[in-house]
Amino acid sequence: MEILWDIFAVPCKESDRDLPVFELLAATSLSSLDNTELLSTGDSLPSVALRIPDYLVPKPSVKKEELPPEEASSLTDNSPASSSLAVSRSVPGGTGGMTYNHLWADAQLELSRLLAEELPAEPPRPEKDRVVFFQRLAMLYVRYIQIFRQLVKAHDLMVHPQKRRFIRVILEGVMGRVLELKNEMVEKEFSEYHYMDDVLHDLKLTPAALEIPIPYYFITDCTKEVQERKAMLTDVFKMVEITGSPEPLMAKEMTLEEAIKIIQVVERARQGRLRAKLNEESRNMNRMYRTKEPEAADMELAAVCIQKVWRGYMQRKRTKIAREEEKIFLGMILDPKYHMPCPAEITAQTSEASTRVKREEHEEAYQKSTTAVTNQLRETEGHDMSKTMKEQIRQWFIECRNATGVFPDYPDVEDGGSALIFTEKTPQQMVEEISAKEEEDSNNKTKGNEETKVKGKMNKGNNEEKEEEAGLKMLPSAFLTDLEVGNKIFADIWQNRNESGNFNQRHEVELIKEEKRKVIEAEIRVQVDEQMRQELADWKLSVDKDKGGKTKANAKKRKGSKSGKKKKKEKDLTAHRTLESLCQELVEQGLLKQANDVRLQDFLGDYSYLGTTLRQNDIEPMPSLSDVRQVISLFAILPLGSQMVHEKAPLIKSILLAGPAGVGKKMLVHAICQETGASLFDLSPLNIAGKYPGKSGLTMMLHMVFKVARLLQPSVIWIEDAEKMFYKKVPKEEKELDTKRLKKDLPKSLKLIKGEDRVLIIGTTNDPLSAEIKSLCKMYSKIILIPRPDYGSRYILWQQLIKKSGGEITQALDLSSLAKISDGYTPGHIVQVIQSVVTKRRVLQQAKRPITAAEFIAPLAKTNPVFQDEEEALKNWYAKTPLGKKRIKAATGKEEEEPAKDKNAKKKGKK
């Protein structure tokens, strides 16, 4: 019997190297193997699949839990136990024989090391050298991204539903920490873009390791409510498309050159038809006058001519094939058969698809089991829980009465209710805490101002000394404690868990019980608290009548003071309307749109390889398109995709994308919506012109847009031509459009966006110089400059876009020269040129006449590039933004001088 043995996919020991199979591999070259196939395993090295008899195959040590229960029973008791999956669960795409459990365990191990570095026993001393501090931040940032990438892969193709939930919690914590480090790097280096070539070199990583992965669950793992709302929105779009009135036919405006070209084409076609007609008539006349038959000599000459042409064609074809075979043999080009999907790639894709199907089945089973276990626990253990809680609370009442002489006040719902009672504290300490809180609430109003004044005077000198001594410190993190707790849970529950009986990786009922007991206990605690509050009031009335009246009065006062602090709620102008009717109106008005089907990976661009070198020489480099892609992922996609990350990470409400026309700003907006499943609202000045007139109409429009955006979150509110809202001087042709309608009202609506609202305002502008820079910077907290592509990005753009249009990259097509001569052209220009050259007809002609670089030169020459002056003007404008000013001050060394001047000025003022 013969089997398929993948040598590189199976781990082997050093002692196995002397087995016959390895001698066979060493003695045989790839070119001489007849019965072999080259199997590609993604990014890893190719492996050779040999058909070898069974007796030559070394049997690897199979772990007991990696087998089904019926096969695991046949192993001896001495077999090593492990919690990993079988080899059939190995990671497709380049991780060899590593399982997703191993991938997860490696990520957790690296995370525990990072947490040990970030949370030491003693706090680290402040760092005075800004460069050293930034290097530390960059190192942490890159290491967290590697953990992030591993966890995304493990979470996507893990089948166990409880593991996936736990990995998601850790994943969101790591995402949040990455965003915190990015925010800190921006504040310390005063730039949205960072270059970490030296860090990548130290960690032996490639630039691809810095790509921010986008978790798949942003779109797939939606709640039922969100899915229903999205389905409702798609139905509204379809209904409006069907019932929408057809747009009136309008003649397109054209230039004089275009009109002349159309006339020339039509006239040449007319003349061609006339010439063809005359030629046909002349041929017919010649046939009529032909009376002689062709001679034998003429027939032989014709045959010889055909033979010459055919033999020449066949010889050229054989020469071309021989030349290609020689290049393949020398390794100059890749064999065409390897361009097709290999068997290993096909099996990897099918296994991923089957894994996703199995994951959905396990998820359904987990949900059913959760509801069943919850009902069972509520019926069997709910009564005992309630009884135990009441007994413990009554015991606490008696102990407090014995210790202090009075019954205590019951903890408020906001403070956790009776959950405070079960902390490890004595009754006297609990009573003291509650009374101290009451005293603080009453004394804060009267004594708060006096204490702050006295403390402010006492601490001014100490603060100045501390500021002088202190250097650069890490900002407090909102995610490190969650990561530490998650790491501890992993060590306690998952790290050494024996899953020998759970080969199919289904849910575990005991873990569900442990989790749901806490939920049921919290539900029962609310009911018990209401009953015990009433019981405590009855006890106070019967035993401590006088004291009970005072405490009630105090409680009423406290409640009154809390209610006074509440802010007024906004009026809902559309409270009587349904969400569907609001969506339908916004779609009809063109304010709610469907995002184009583009992904962030379609925004092509190469890494900037000289960024660190240029900055070391005091030259500010222009960011590459790869840097733009990373920044968009961090500032827009990750916060919009995760609710927890959006609430805890540094809040970004608005982003401005500035750059010349054609760099891909609109494409990025649509890509953000597609990657996060966000709804797209269009409040561009030209789009809202003439809609909802008057002040009341504008208020209603903004109210509807922001209300629906919150209900359909995540949402993106797009403002194209954002500079029109803040024009220095409105052009004459745009005065009627009233482009500055939103200048006052939109910033007010922006302030109402909170951490729990996953709503992002994105503005795009080609001409930021025409706007008031102060009001523009107040509106947009993040300004991202998108430049024209560099040489590496242009090379990738030409290569990928020509392939996408159906063109073939041959030796006749000099991509390097194309990338060189297209300096200054944006991706939009390149797309237009490729569409005009690589037509359907030209694709069919490729076999006889390959595409050359010269064909693209004429269309390129007709389009105007982005000149150096325009790019310099954009750079100078960006230098006037708040972050740009800080960057210039830091570069000139004025940043350290200014705080000292401010302190001296304050001291003089005091004198």
Per DSSP bridges, beta strands 654-658 and 759-765 are parallel
- Report the distance separating Cα 659 and Cα 870, nearest Å: 10
- CB of 119 closer than 8 Å to CB of 480: yes
- pLDDT (0 to 100) of residue 558: 43
Q: Which amino acid makes up residue 463?
A: N
Please indicate whether residue 7 or residue 632 has the higher confidence score (pLDDT).
Answer: 632
- Report the distance separating Cα 65 and Cα 785, nearest Å: 54
Which residues, including other chains, have CB under 8 Å from residue 881's CB and lie 6 or more apart?
773, 777, 783
Q: Is 267 a residue whose pLDDT tops 90?
A: yes
Run of H or E residues at 39 = strand 36-39
- Report the distance separating Cα 687 and Cα 681, nearest Å: 11
Paired residues of 472 in beta bridges: 127
Nearest by Cα to 407 from 427, 381, 385: 427
- Helices (DSSP H) in 642-725: which residue ranges? 643-648, 665-676, 694-711
- Report the distance separating Cα 634 and Cα 183, nearest Å: 10
Confidence of residue 570 (pLDDT cuts 50, 70, 90): low
- CB of 612 closer than 8 Å to CB of 780: no
Residue 692: helix, strand or coil by DSSP?
Answer: coil
- pLDDT (0 to 100) of residue 96: 38
- pLDDT (0 to 100) of residue 655: 92
Tally of CB atoms within 10 A around 821: 16
Is 25 exposed, middle or buried, given 0-12, 13-18 or 19+ CB atoms closer than 10 A? middle
- CB of 675 closer than 8 Å to CB of 603: no
Angstrom distances, CA of residue 490 to CA of 154, 202, 496, 497 = 15, 30, 9, 10
Confidence of residue 422 (pLDDT cuts 50, 70, 90): low
Tally of CB atoms within 10 A around 767: 17
What order do you get walking across the sheet with 759-765 strand by strand?
A: 592-593, 679-682, 715-720, 759-765, 654-658, 782-785
- pLDDT (0 to 100) of residue 888: 82
Q: Is 892 a residue whose pLDDT tops 80?
A: no
Q: Is 77 a residue whose pLDDT tops 60?
A: no
Mean pLDDT value across residues 451-468: 46
Q: Is 11 a residue whose pLDDT tops 50?
A: no
Rg of the chain over Cα atoms, rounded to whole angstroms, equals 36
Question: How many alpha carbons lie under 13 Å from residue 751 in its C-beta half-sphere?
Answer: 6
Confidence of residue 436 (pLDDT cuts 50, 70, 90): low
Among the ranges 177-186, 437-446, 541-550, which has the highest mean pLDDT value?
A: 177-186
Cα diameter, the chain: 139
- Report the distance separating Cα 364 and Cα 366, nearest Å: 5
Mean pLDDT value across residues 109-138: 85
Paired residues of 450 in beta bridges: none
Print burial letters for 196-234: b (CB count within 10 Å at least 16), e (below 16): bbebbeeeebeeeebbbbbbebbeeeeeeeeeebeebbe
Place of tokens 């063809």: 276
Q: Provide the mean pLDDT of the chain.
A: 76
Question: How many alpha carbons lie under 13 Å from residue 500 in its C-beta half-sphere?
Answer: 16
Give the helix, strand, coil percentages of the chain, each rounded to 5.
Answer: 65, 5, 30
Percent of the chain residues topping a pLDDT of 90 = 11
- pLDDT (0 to 100) of residue 82: 37
Tally of CB atoms within 10 A around 94: 13
Confidence of residue 38 (pLDDT cuts 50, 70, 90): very low
- Report the distance separating Cα 832 and Cα 858, nearest Å: 12
- CB of 218 closer than 8 Å to CB of 677: yes
- pLDDT (0 to 100) of residue 631: 92
Angstrom distances, CA of residue 466 to CA of 452, 600, 708 = 19, 46, 48
Print burial letters for 626-660: b (CB count within 10 Å at least 16), e (below 16): bbbbbbbbbbbbbbbbbebbbbbbbebbbbbbbbb
Please indicate whether residue 487 or residue 47 has the higher confidence score (pLDDT).
Answer: 487
Mean pLDDT value across residues 357-377: 88
- pLDDT (0 to 100) of residue 749: 87
Q: Is 172 a residue whose pLDDT tops 50?
A: yes
Nearest by Cα to 239 from 713, 658, 583, 752: 583
- pLDDT (0 to 100) of residue 6: 36
Mean pLDDT value across residues 239-247: 58
- pLDDT (0 to 100) of residue 771: 86
Please indicate whether residue 667 or residue 437 has the higher confidence score (pLDDT).
Answer: 667
- pLDDT (0 to 100) of residue 59: 40
- pLDDT (0 to 100) of residue 492: 87
Confidence of residue 736 (pLDDT cuts 50, 70, 90): confident
* pTM higher than the cut 0.75: no
What order do you get walking across the sheet with 36-39 strand by strand?
A: 2-6, 47-53, 36-39
Mean pLDDT value across residues 862-889: 85
Q: Which amino acid makes up residue 875?
A: K
- Report the distance separating Cα 81 and Cα 500, nearest Å: 8
- Report the distance separating Cα 209 and Cα 343, nearest Å: 27
Which residues, including other chains, have CB under 8 Å from residue 610's CB and lie 6 or more apart?
621
> Using one digit for the tens of pLDDT, what is the confidence trace for 770-826?
888 888 888 898 899 898 888 889 999 999 999 888 888 888 888 898 999 988 899
Paired residues of 717 in beta bridges: 681, 761
Among the ranges 48-57, 580-589, 633-642, which has the highest mean pLDDT value?
A: 633-642
Nearest by Cα to 728 from 691, 683, 767: 767
Angle, CA 478 vertex, CA 474 and CA 479 arms, to 5°: 100
> Using one digit for the tens of pLDDT, what is the confidence trace for 611-634?
788 887 877 788 888 889 999 999
- CB of 166 closer than 8 Å to CB of 494: yes
- Report the distance separating Cα 431 and Cα 420, nearest Å: 11
Residue 235: helix, strand or coil by DSSP?
Answer: helix
Angstrom distances, CA of residue 493 to CA of 162, 501, 514 = 11, 16, 12
- Report the distance separating Cα 732 and Cα 684, nearest Å: 19
Q: Copy the structure tokens of residue 713.
A: 């979150």
Confidence of residue 263 (pLDDT cuts 50, 70, 90): very high
- In angstroms, how far is CA 510 from the centroid of its own chain? 34
Number of alpha helices (DSSP H) and beta strands (DSSP E) in the chain: 33, 9
- pLDDT (0 to 100) of residue 476: 84
> Using one digit for the tens of pLDDT, what is the confidence trace for 333-357?
777 766 667 788 788 888 888 888 8
Please indicate whether residue 425 or residue 385 has the higher confidence score (pLDDT).
Answer: 385
- pLDDT (0 to 100) of residue 290: 62
Confidence of residue 66 (pLDDT cuts 50, 70, 90): very low
